[in-house]
Every structure is written in C-alpha cells, then in structure tokens.
Amino acid sequence: TFGWKRYNTLAEIETWLDGILEKYSNVTEEFVVGTSYEGRTIRGIKISYKEGNPGVIIESNIHANEWITSATATWFINELLSSENQVVRELAENHDWYIVPVLNVDGFVYSHEKNRMWRKTRQPSNFSSCIGVDPNRNYDSHWMQNDGASDDPCSQVYGGPHAYSEPEIKAMSEFIFSIKDKVNVLLAFHSYGQVLLSPYGHTAEEFPENYEDLMQVAKAYADAVGTLSYGSVFQYGSVASVLYQATGATNDWAYEQGILISYTIEFRDSGNFGFVLPPAFILPNCEETLTGIIALLGECQKLG
Ligand code: 0X9
Ligand code: ZN
Ligand code: ZN
C-alpha cells in the first residue's frame, strides 16, 4: 500500500491521488497536463484555499529515475492538506499550488518495470534505435545551443529532434504558459546533488537581472535545511556556473516566461547512493524540502 517508507509505482501514486482529490475535494482540483507518448494521462493537483493567492508550480519526476522527487512531491501534497502545524497551514493556505508529481510518466513506469536507471522519455527516434529524449533539454529555451545538450539520440542528454518534440514537454509548457500570470515561483524537483540551481543554464557569463534576489532566496532554503539535525548541506548558484551548461530545461524556460523565482532543486544525496536513494531517506528528504520551501517562500515575501 501507498506510503513513504518505500517508493510507489505510478499506479499506486494515481490511486492515492484519487483518494486525496476525494477526501479534500473542497480545496483541491485535478488538472490534466496532457497525454504522454505512450498514451498515459499526465495528472496534476491544484490546491487552493482561497482565490487569488500567488501561485507556485512544482514539476516533479521529469527525469524518470529520480524517484525521490515524486515521493517528496506526494508527501508535500499530503502535508499541505493535512498538517496541523501553524506554519504549514499558512504555507498551504496562502499560496495556490499546482503540483505535477510525475511528469515523465512513461519513463517512470519503465524505470519501475525494466530499467531502474532510465532517465529520458520513451518516444523512439527517426534517426536511431536509441529511445527517448532528455525532457529537461526539450523546452524551447536556448534549445541545443552552447553544448547545453546532445544531438545524439543515444545520449542521456539528447535534446530531441526539435524543441517540444516530446508530448510531455509540449503539454507541460502549454500548461505553465496558461497559468503563468498567476504564478511567481516554479520549483523543478530533481535529484541528486543537494543544490538549488537558478537560471541561466545556457551560459555562465551572464546572470539573470534578479540574480541577487534568486541567491538570497536560495540561501534562505539552504540555511533552513542546515538548521535541521540531519546536517544536509545545500549549495546554490546558477546552473551553468555551479553545475554545467544545460539548455532547454524547465526552470530556464519558465524564467523566460516571466516566472522570475525559478529553480531546479537537486535533492539528496551528494553522491553516495545517487539516483538510487534508499527508502529510509525518503522522509528525511521530505522534511528538509518542506522546511526549505517554507523558508524560500518566506524570503520571497520579503522581496515584496
Ligand atoms: O541535468 C539536468 O537536467 C539536471 N540535473 S540532473 O542530475 N537531475 O539530471 C540539472 C538541470 C538544471 N539545468 C537548467 N536549469 N538549465
Ligand atoms: Zn517531432
Ligand atoms: Zn533530473
């Protein structure tokens, strides 16, 4: 049965989501992002306690093998709806949440059933027998520029034959576009590395206009996580300056659409287990994420 002591399959997550939507029907609403290559419905949940709150988008499990992301996203949904902690209640009730627990549904199922390390989508290529595109290289943001992705269909960072070639990304971009005027913050959940990554991914030579704000807000997250007894350390900086050049990613694209507080968050760990984080670390990661997001959104408020 569903829980956070182990990783759940897509079917288990969906059944759980159905229950949540029913139990909390007064403050939740399902939205459909679109349909995956293999025909699965990509589902999301909107949580809103009152009209007109600032919106927050959470994109999770765009990379199929990053199971900790959907485990954390589902736990976070549950906390927003059921926590009795006053700080969490305020967090929940003063934002409108748009959460997609599993974006890369086909890849996620494949990672459960065939290959635990599967990362990409599952759409075949016209040029190669290798399958799938790195969905986080497929948004139309400096697509395939500056060595930020590969044009080799066999690469783990293949950008695809063209931007938005992946139905999951076309759909997610359209969904984000449709609500962007109501949204200030986008968080793309990834693993691993324990780092908050701001734009830009395409160059380390330039920084966003609000880079200082982005770093101040990221620091609040890292500092808050640092106060917990687990001792996890989170770094922060722009993608290209602290990680590597990466183009076509969600948070850069969203930033360019005007969602100016936009991060990729790489969860636990720092490399020991990597993508295959043991289930015992799910709940610690969840607690860190909640603590971090409370601090992050609190710091955003100070920016005015
Ligand atoms: O390479 C990626 O897509 C992300 N790292 S991961 O290990 N989860 O694959 C980092 C993406 C951040 N890049 C941009 N925002 N450009
Ligand atoms: Zn195409
Ligand atoms: Zn990732």
Tokens read off for 257: 């659409």
What per-residue confidence (pLDDT) applies to 268?
Answer: 98
If one residue of 63, 207, 270 were mutated to test the ligand 1 pocket, choosing by the most ligand atoms within 8 A of its CB, it would be 63
Strands (E), the chain: 28-35, 41-47, 55-60, 96-100, 183-191, 195-198, 235-238, 261-267
| pLDDT-derived band at 1, boundaries 50, 70, 90 | confident
Query: Taking residues 177-189, what's their average pLDDT?
Result: 98
Q: Is the pLDDT of residue 279 over 90?
A: yes
Tokens read off for 31: 């939205």
pLDDT tens sequence across 72-102 = 999 999 999 999 999 999 999 999 999 999 9
User: 240: Cβ below 6 Å to ligand 1?
Assistant: no
CA-wise closest residue to 120 among 105, 103, 132: 132
Global confidence as pTM: 0.98
Arithmetic mean of pLDDT over the chain: 98
**Is 13 in contact with 74 (CB distance < 8 Å)?**
yes
Q: Is the pLDDT of residue 304 over 80?
A: no
- State in Å: Cα 129 to ligand 2 middle: 16
User: 239: Cβ below 6 Å to ligand 1?
Assistant: yes
Alpha-carbon span 215 to 32, nearest angstrom: 33
User: From residue 57, how far is each of 98, 188, 244 by CA, in Å?
Assistant: 5, 8, 24
Give me the active site residues, please: 266
User: 218: Cβ below 6 Å to ligand 1?
Assistant: no
Domains in the chain and their CATH numbers? 10-303 (3.40.630.10)
Of all residues in the chain, the percent with pLDDT exceeding 90 is 99
pLDDT tens sequence across 107-131 = 999 999 999 999 999 999 999 999 9
